[in-house]
């Protein structure tokens, strides 16, 4: 597992075409989730995160072109917000039904994929209280485990360009996948690395 604190374009520039077997990424949607969110009604609430600007805009087309260059297949969360920047369509979208009850949050999130199979849905409440989340867009580990079990093969090299809370790193660790990832924000990077270390220590105990 190789995880760095750097810009994703710099990371990808070091790799040859198709180096990674599968990129699973959760880039900014450009909807302001990085701003200081107040508590909301429903099954989960947002705690107060630091005010930053990482979700002011979705990545530019150059990011998606580079992502597709360095990976054989891609799964891109939030692509419904920036589908015009992805160079080709897909019959296979992933639907995460968040089962989050009545609140202002989206009932589901969508991921574009490069696979040619059918649309698939995963239903799972996030399962983490707002006080325990280290990132405002944190996804559950089990969601990434489901993706890896359905769309990756043992021995595949996995890429994540926006590590965030590191849920994908924990899933890769649990299932034995080789992950290369980066996170630009130093505070989130440090929190993610701490979460990974704690997870590994907990597994060693049992």
Band the pLDDT of 45: cuts 50, 70, 90.
very low
Beta bridge partners of 109: 96
Query: Which tokens hold the place of 197?
Result: 């270390």
Query: Would you state the pLDDT for residue 5?
Result: 98
pLDDT tens string 170-197 = 999 999 999 999 999 999 999 999 999 9
Band the pLDDT of 22: cuts 50, 70, 90.
very high
pLDDT at 8 over 70: yes
* Average pLDDT over all residues of the chain: 87
Chosen CATH of 2-205 out of 3.90.1150.10, 3.40.50.150, 1.10.357.10, 3.60.15.10? 3.40.50.150
Q: Where are the alpha helices (DSSP H) in 37-80?
A: 61-70
Tell me how far apart the alpha carbons of residues 206 and 204 are, in angstroms, rounded to a whole number: 5
Name which of 14-18, 33-37, 82-86 the model is least confident about: 33-37
Judge whether 158 and 136 are in contact, CB under 8 Å: no
Band the pLDDT of 132: cuts 50, 70, 90.
low
Tell me how far apart the alpha carbons of residues 83 and 64 are, in angstroms, rounded to a whole number: 10
pLDDT tens string 120-130 = 999 976 555 55
pLDDT at 54 over 90: no
What region, left, alpha or beta, does residue 132 occupy, with left being phi > 0 and alpha being psi -120 to 50 degrees? alpha
Please give the share of the chain, as a percent, with pLDDT higher than 70: 83
Query: Which tokens hold the place of 163?
Result: 């590590």
pLDDT tens string 92-103 = 999 999 887 666
Query: Would you state the pLDDT for residue 131?
Result: 55
Q: Which helix (H) or strand (E) holds 200?
A: helix 186-205
Closest CA to 80 of 108, 116, 120: 108
Band the pLDDT of 68: cuts 50, 70, 90.
very high
Tell me how far apart the alpha carbons of residues 97 and 109 are, in angstroms, rounded to a whole number: 7
- Helix pair 141-151, 167-175: axis angle to 10 deg: 50
Name which of 41-50, 160-169, 177-186, 192-201 the model is least confident about: 41-50
Tell me how far apart the alpha carbons of residues 110 and 94 are, in angstroms, rounded to a whole number: 6
Q: Which residue has the tokens 């994908």?
A: 168
Q: What value does the mean pLDDT take over residues 62-67?
A: 97
Q: What value does the mean pLDDT take over residues 37-57?
A: 54
């Amino acid at each position: 597992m190789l995880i760095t604190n750097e810009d994703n374009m710099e990371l990808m520039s070091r790799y040859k075409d198709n180096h990674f077997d599968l990129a699973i990424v959760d880039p900014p949607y450009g909807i302001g989730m990085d701003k200081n969110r107040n508590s909301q009604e429903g099954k989960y609430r947002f705690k107060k995160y630091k005010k930053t600007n990482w979700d002011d805009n979705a990545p530019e087309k150059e990011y998606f072109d580079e992502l597709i260059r360095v990976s054989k297949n891609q799964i891109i969360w939030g692509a419904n917000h920036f589908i015009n920047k992805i160079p080709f369509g897909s019959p296979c979208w992933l639907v995460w039904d968040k089962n989050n009850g009545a609140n202002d949050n989206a009932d589901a999130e969508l991921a574009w994929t490069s696979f040619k199979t059918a649309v698939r849905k995963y239903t799972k409440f996030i399962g983490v209280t707002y006080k325990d989340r280290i990132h405002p867009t944190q996804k559950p580990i089990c969601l990434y485990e489901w993706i890896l079990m359905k769309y990756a093969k043992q021995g595949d090299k996995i890429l994540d360009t926006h590590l965030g809370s590191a849920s994908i790193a924990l899933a890769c660790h649990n299932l034995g996948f080789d992950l290369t990832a980066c996170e630009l924000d130093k505070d989130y990077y440090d929190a993610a690395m701490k979460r990974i270390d704690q997870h590994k220590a907990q597994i060693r105990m049992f």
